[in-house]
A and B are shown apart, each in its own frame.
Chain A
């Protein structure tokens, strides 16, 4: 099976559920809506994509949306294990709420927590939604969004007192 064949098969399987299926360099990208995300994920799992490698998000402040992307692949199916599928969902920036995919792929648990603390995306139905790496007061500021401004330090600010 080659990559365009896999893209065609995914396009046929998903039908109207997918908003957009395109073959990018090295992986197939599927874009879907918030309502149909779970059904698409179920279909992909039935096809043989049995785990998620990464969950990430991209912030588009001008378009007012946050795109959450799940990268799924396979361990058990040898043919599919050579490919990767990106499953993306667009969320409104002011209220990014989406249903969790934890019941379908168990490996998303920690990665969804990470997206939650860095981007403020709320995953409904997640068993343990709290910050993973950051301190809670910093996680409230949603540090990986584009409108988070880091305090600029001058070069002399970092000099210890005794050397001033």
Chain B
């Protein structure tokens, strides 16, 4: 509450107390995440609750499925694929991104909950791969900020598991999750706006 009238106490009678909620919230945030070192706990907790969203755009989806199968079992790293972008914080771009899919990727990324992380998987997600120099393929790093890249065509499940471990390491070393909560935005990566609107073809 920003403004309160002190009526009950006789000493404060007739006085109006005013405060700025944003300033108070920032102070509380700085104390909790800065002085009390709760940020490290946030980072540690985030590494064990990575929820990737299904965005299977290409054949890397098969390797993605194999990574969560009993043999490689990526769930032991605290990552479980989930269906709705609203309930996830982690996206794995599985292969080629066409122009129509770039729009879906951007919309999915915007819908995800903070703090969110991106892994680009496979040669197609790096620079086009097989479909290099194509008229209908865009690069994912022009659409969303990518944290970890995986090489390979397609990368084996071990590589994807390793990338998840690398992302966990990066989150704890760079304090990505707690910094995001503190500042409200990610300072360590550039947040790309697409050069051309990926959804310009879309008509409701």
Q: A158-B127, A160-B141, A160-B146 are in contact. Are A137 and B132 (CB under 8 A)?
A: no
Assess whether A135 is in contact with B190, with CB atoms less than 8 Å apart: no
- The size of the chain B interface, using a CB distance under 8 A, is 17
Nearest-CB distance from A5 to chain B (Å)? 43
Nearest-CB distance from A90 to chain B (Å)? 27
Report the Cα distance A141→B139, complex, angstroms.
21
Nearest-CB distance from A156 to chain B (Å)? 10
User: Which A94-113 residues have C-beta < 8 A from chain B?
Assistant: none
In the complex, A161 has a CB within 8 A of chain B: yes
In the complex, B20 has a CB within 8 A of chain A: no
In the complex, A138 has a CB within 8 A of chain B: yes
Assess whether A150 is in contact with B135, with CB atoms less than 8 Å apart: yes
Which residues of the partner chain B approach A137 to less than 8 Å between Cβ atoms? 200-201
In the complex, B126 has a CB within 8 A of chain A: yes
In the complex, B133 has a CB within 8 A of chain A: yes
The B contact surface, by secondary structure, is loop
Assess whether B126 is in contact with A135, with CB atoms less than 8 Å apart: no
Which residues of the partner chain A approach B99 to less than 8 Å between Cβ atoms? 135, 138
Which residues of the partner chain A approach B134 to less than 8 Å between Cβ atoms? 150
Assess whether A153 is in contact with B190, with CB atoms less than 8 Å apart: no
Closest A residue by C-beta to B202: A135
User: Which A16-74 residues have C-beta < 8 A from chain B?
Assistant: none
In the complex, B100 has a CB within 8 A of chain A: yes
Nearest-CB distance from A161 to chain B (Å)? 6
In the complex, A4 has a CB within 8 A of chain B: no
Report the Cα distance A160→B120, complex, angstroms.
12
In the complex, A78 has a CB within 8 A of chain B: no
Assess whether A138 is in contact with B136, with CB atoms less than 8 Å apart: yes
User: Which A134-164 residues have C-beta < 8 A from chain B?
Assistant: 134-138, 141, 143, 148, 150-153, 158-162
CB-contact partner of A158 in B100, B126, B190, B201, under 8 A: B126
Which residues of the partner chain A approach B126 to less than 8 Å between Cβ atoms? 158
Assess whether A150 is in contact with B133, with CB atoms less than 8 Å apart: yes
Report the Cα distance A141→B190, complex, angstroms.
33
Report the Cα distance A71→B128, complex, angstroms.
33
Assess whether A136 is in contact with B133, with CB atoms less than 8 Å apart: no
Which residues of the partner chain B approach A138 to less than 8 Å between Cβ atoms? 99, 135-136, 201
User: Which B97-117 residues have C-beta < 8 A from chain A?
Assistant: 99-100
10 new A-B contacts at CB < 8 Å, known A138-B135, A158-B139: A135-B99, A138-B99, A138-B201, A141-B135, A148-B135, A151-B133, A152-B133, A153-B132, A158-B126, A160-B146
List chain A positions with a Cβ less than 8 A from chain B.
134-138, 141, 143, 148, 150-153, 158-162
Could you write out 23 A-B pairs with CB less than 8 Å apart? A134-B100, A135-B99, A135-B201, A137-B200, A137-B201, A138-B136, A138-B201, A141-B135, A143-B136, A150-B133, A150-B134, A151-B135, A153-B128, A153-B132, A153-B133, A158-B126, A158-B127, A158-B128, A159-B127, A160-B141, A160-B146, A161-B190, A162-B190
5 nearest A-B residue pairs (beta carbon) = A135-B201, A158-B127, A160-B141, A150-B135, A143-B135
List chain B positions with a Cβ less than 8 A from chain A.
99-100, 126-128, 132-136, 139, 141, 146, 189-190, 200-201
